[in-house]
Amino acid sequence: MVVTVTVMSVDVTPELPEPGPRRPQLAAVPRLRARRLVVLGDSTAVGLGDPLPRRGGWRGVGPLVAAALGVAADGYLNPSFAGARMQCVLTEQVPAALAHRADVALLVAGMNDTLRPDFDAARVAADLTDVIRRLKDAGTTVVPVRFHDHSKVFRLPPSLKRALSARVAELNAAIDEVVAREGVACLDLARLPGAYDLASWSVDRLHPSELGHRMLASGFTGLLADAGFAVPEPVSLTCSGGLQPSTTGHVGWLVLKGIPWLWRRGREFLPYAAVIMWKSFRGR
């Protein structure tokens, strides 16, 4: 008896779980490249407080930001000058910035306005608005500053300190209103770490030292990075390349520049300080 057995072959394919949704590949967000930079404003914008060895002159915040952004020498422009007020920036410096076709404009101005007897916060706000709008219309990213309380680092009698603090508060309120309305970033100097440390200031206590200029440059480039600009070489806070003023240099500055400046500005500012003193006296 022959028994025939038929063996059937069955292919069994294990059930695999359904593949989940594919995670999208995130493309790297291209960073904007700033090729043309302009620095506008007063003596801080010029670079006072950060002297250069051998060649003389000043370095300051502008060249530090240019180096951080990778801006070539022919792409950097600084038409700022000592004593400039906001209206000077509008009428004398903005045309140069427009002709330069700047991608980025840094603006440090307003403190000289506070020290003049004709200070008008509304006028400063109107000029600042025109500065920002004219540059924005040309495709320039504008970064102004709001100021620290200068009376905390500059030695003044108490009455003058109160007067200066009140003026700076008025100026900052005007700047805050403008930057909020125009939608631009603004560097708050009072919030910079170490803003009130003496090491951040030059001998005159009016202009940043090399460290202070580096802090300014770091603050500016941080805001520009937030705005989408590439910062290939972040600013170092380690001082190098500048010239450390000697004791003789300190004394020379005080005699030749500091005292005459205090005399000129004091005569202009004292009437306003007298009003502050009288109001304070009446209040007590």
Domain 37-283: CATH superfamily is: SGNH hydrolase (3.40.50.1110)
- Quickly tell me which residue has 């040309």 as its tokens: 138
Supply the mean pLDDT for the chain: 82
- Between the alpha carbon of residue 58 and those of residues 11, 16, 124, 182, the distances in Å are 84, 71, 27, 32
pLDDT at 163: 82
pLDDT digits (tens, 9 = 90+) for 53-101: 776 788 999 999 999 999 999 999 999 999 999 999 999 999 999 999 9
Beta bridge pairs of residue 146: 188
Within its chain, how far is the Cα of 231 from the centroid?
A: 15
> What distance in Å separates the CA atoms of residue 34 and residue 141, rounded to the nearest whole number?
10
pLDDT digits (tens, 9 = 90+) for 14-57: 455 555 455 444 444 568 999 999 999 999 999 998 888 776 78
Q: Cβ of 57: how many Cβ atoms within 10 Å?
A: 10
Please state the φ and ψ torsions of residue 104, each to the nearest 5 degrees: -135, 135
pLDDT at 94: 98
> What distance in Å separates the CA atoms of residue 132 and residue 272, rounded to the nearest whole number?
29
pLDDT digits (tens, 9 = 90+) for 154-176: 776 777 788 888 999 999 999 99
pLDDT at 109: 97
pLDDT digits (tens, 9 = 90+) for 176-212: 999 999 999 999 999 999 998 988 988 777 789 999 9
Is a pLDDT exceeding 60 seen at residue 268? no
Domain ranges of the chain: 37-283
Does residue 69 contact residue 217 with C-beta atoms inside 8 Å? no
